[in-house]
Structure 1
Amino acid sequence: MVQEREKPWEVVFKPGRFPVEIRDTRNHGSTTAPPPKPLLLAFPNQSGDYPIVLCFHGFMIPNSSYTQILHHIASHGYITIAPQMYCITGENSKPEIDDAAAILNWLPEGLSYYLPSEVRPDLEYVAVAGHSRGGKVAFGLALGLASEKTKVKMSALVGIDPVDGRGRGHQTEPPILTYKPHSFDLHIPTLVIGSGLGEKWNLLVPPCAPDGVSHREFFSECSVPSYHFVASEFGHMDFLNDDTGPLTFFCKNGVAREPMRRFSGGIMVAFLHACLRNDSEALNHLLLHPEDAPVTLEPPQSFVTETYKIFSKL
């Protein structure tokens, strides 16, 4: 009996075919071209040329809290890079945007020193992503807000529950949101992943992703082409590893993180396949059939032409 082949939209939510190795640049030192910030690298441990995904962490969250989602993406054939941007910081994120540009510009001369010789970064295809405040940093970098001009072209952008401050009228510096629809002059495909519970109060604790500065406003300001997926029953910290520390308890979250990690990692893979590998089958299917995702989704949204579309099962 011939076994039925798995569908592309099923494959993206499962571990990929590549074995993965994780390295910390602090433990694999090189006297040549050290990175501007310590990096966690997750990459396919198999000979080949691989696109790059640069991922920025959320406010006061260590980059090690993202290893499981980084591992998932890497297993599908991507070199994922998570800098440790700071240990303690203030409200102004401009220094992080400048550091992000420095890391991006370091990639051509420095990244290969920290990878096996047979693992070759494909610098023609570089995606930038960020969670929470890191999402703001990723958007700031893509919008050209860094003091240093970036030399590496960005091919795609992902905001993972991005946040631009404490609320509308209380954005942190530099403000990213303009409150003008489709005002972001990005010229690259953009994916915004949102959490339905991130905008909710957790007993007496304010929302971790407040309405007005959260994923919904980020997506509304994105230009063509852009995509928006929202997991309605999960929260702002459900993207992280299970063993992440006490900061996660301040946010209203779902009952378990594994489904949200699997979904967010998978939808990122579907998006990256579409943008960097010209394979949009999984992404297009999930836009039309969100019930095939491993979590409950709001109707996905897409701005792919000058006509704004909301996909549903109508």
Structure 2
Amino acid sequence: MSSSSSSATDVFENGKYETIPKNVDSTGGNPDGLPVLPPEPLLIVSPMEEGEFPVLILLHGYMLLNSFYSELLQHIASHCFIVVAPQLSLLLRRSQNGQLYTCRGKDCTEDIRSAGAVTDWLRGGLSAALPSQVTPNLAKLALSGHSRGGKTAFALALGMLSITTSIPFRALIGIDPVDGSEGSQTPPPVLTYKTQSFDLEMPVMVIGAGLSEVKKCCMVPPCAANGVNHKEFFNECKPPACHFVAKDYGHMDMLDDKTPGLRGILADCICKNGKSREPMRKFVGGIVVASLRAYLGGDSTDLITVRDTPEIAPVELSAIEFLS
């Protein structure tokens, strides 16, 4: 893996590729004529140009919609990646324009199973859901997740619930992952509270939000409390792994500026936030791209550049750690 450092990087701005989003339903009349429908509804964002591209799965946070990440997905995809974002808590579609969503509760078991099923679907279903000129390179598949989705991603990568996907993951990214709330984990627990206990045969990046452990107000617990947040996830990672923490940004600050509906209102209200989402969204998108270039493409130039010159990031970083 190349590790030379340069004075600048393009990862924090949108890339050169035009992108196209596509919603793929898991039920209904299959208007696209897919050979097999996905086990969960998907939002897929891919480059429009002809080529073969690595694939990233991104799992959404608790009670959130995959559409809330559309700007982040487009940022990543514009740097020549295909991003697949399943809607893990969507149980019933009423009509093309009206959807009924429900929450699966605190237990992540079904989310883990669903994420595994989506991964297995990729081999037989993803190509048909993409533009004809776009080819997925499933030999370069990475897994990521935000908040509860970060926990779900770690659980799936660890093979919990005896789930083994038919396609191996080459990298794992936790975006402000959280395993429960103050003083308690949600089932099934992922954190072991033992340093470097995660048996992961892949490189890992953990991204933290500095304000995620701060209460919005005295009546509301922090969205990612100490003991169950990004710090402990990174503590349990073995090399190679890295950890970046954005100092003045919150647990939801990588979402779109506008997140409509009740879930969007809750995303705005329950967590301590930074002044603006755009800098954090650019940082998360950029550092994810840098890690994918390093872990899937073998070129760590951008990742090392951010490590060595953190002032180029669009946010102030309060922690940068590498295990090698």
Aligned-residue offset at 1:298:
1.1
Amino acid paired to 1:174: P
Amino acid paired to 2:293: H
Render the CA deviation track for 1:147-190: whole Å, top value 9, x for unaligned.
4421101000000000000134x101110000000100001010
Sort the Cα spacing of 1:119 and 1:220 in 2 relative to 1 into closer, same or farther, 3 A: same
Amino acid paired to 2:79: H
Q: 1:19 touches 1:75 (CA, 8 Å); kept in 2?
A: yes
Amino acid paired to 1:116: P
Q: Return the alpha-carbon distance in structure 1 between the equivalents of residues 275 and 304 of structure 2.
A: 29
Which residue number corresponds to residue 307 of structure 2?
A: 287
Instruction: Kindly report the root-mean-square deviation, in angstroms, between the aligned alpha carbons of the 2 structures.
Output: 1.3
Render the CA deviation track for 1:249-285: whole Å, top value 9, x for unaligned.
1100000000000000000000000011111111011
The number of equivalent residue pairs is: 297
Structure 1: gaps of 5 or more residues: 1-6, 305-314
Q: Return the alpha-carbon distance in structure 2 between the equivalents of residues 30 and 165 of structure 1.
A: 40
| Residues 1-314 of structure 1: pairs in structure 2 closer than 5 A | 9-26=8-25, 29-86=32-89, 87-168=102-183, 170-204=184-218, 205-244=220-259, 245-248=264-267, 249-304=269-324
Q: Return the alpha-carbon distance in structure 2 between the equivalents of residues 9 and 270 of structure 1.
A: 12
- In structure 2, the residue corresponding to 1:97 is in which secondary structure? helix
Q: 1:57 touches 1:132 (CA, 8 Å); kept in 2?
A: yes
Greater CA deviation, 54-63 or 242-251? 242-251
Amino acid paired to 1:246: I
Q: Return the alpha-carbon distance in structure 2 between the equivalents of residues 251 and 221 of structure 1.
A: 25
Q: 2:34 touches 2:129 (CA, 8 Å); kept in 1?
A: no
Structure 2: gaps of 5 or more residues: 1-5, 90-101
Give the structure, 1 or 2, with the largest relative contact order (CA under 8 Å, sep 6 or more).
Answer: 2
Q: Return the alpha-carbon distance in structure 2 between the equivalents of residues 295 and 180 of structure 1.
A: 31
What's the TM-score once normalised by structure 2's chain length? Answer: 0.89
Q: 1:32 touches 1:113 (CA, 8 Å); kept in 2?
A: yes
Q: Return the alpha-carbon distance in structure 1 between the equivalents of residues 241 and 69 of structure 2.
A: 24
Which residue number corresponds to residue 308 of structure 1?
A: none
Q: Return the alpha-carbon distance in structure 2 between the equivalents of residues 146 and 40 of structure 1.
A: 26
What's the TM-score once normalised by structure 1's chain length? Answer: 0.92
- In structure 2, the residue corresponding to 1:10 is in which secondary structure? coil
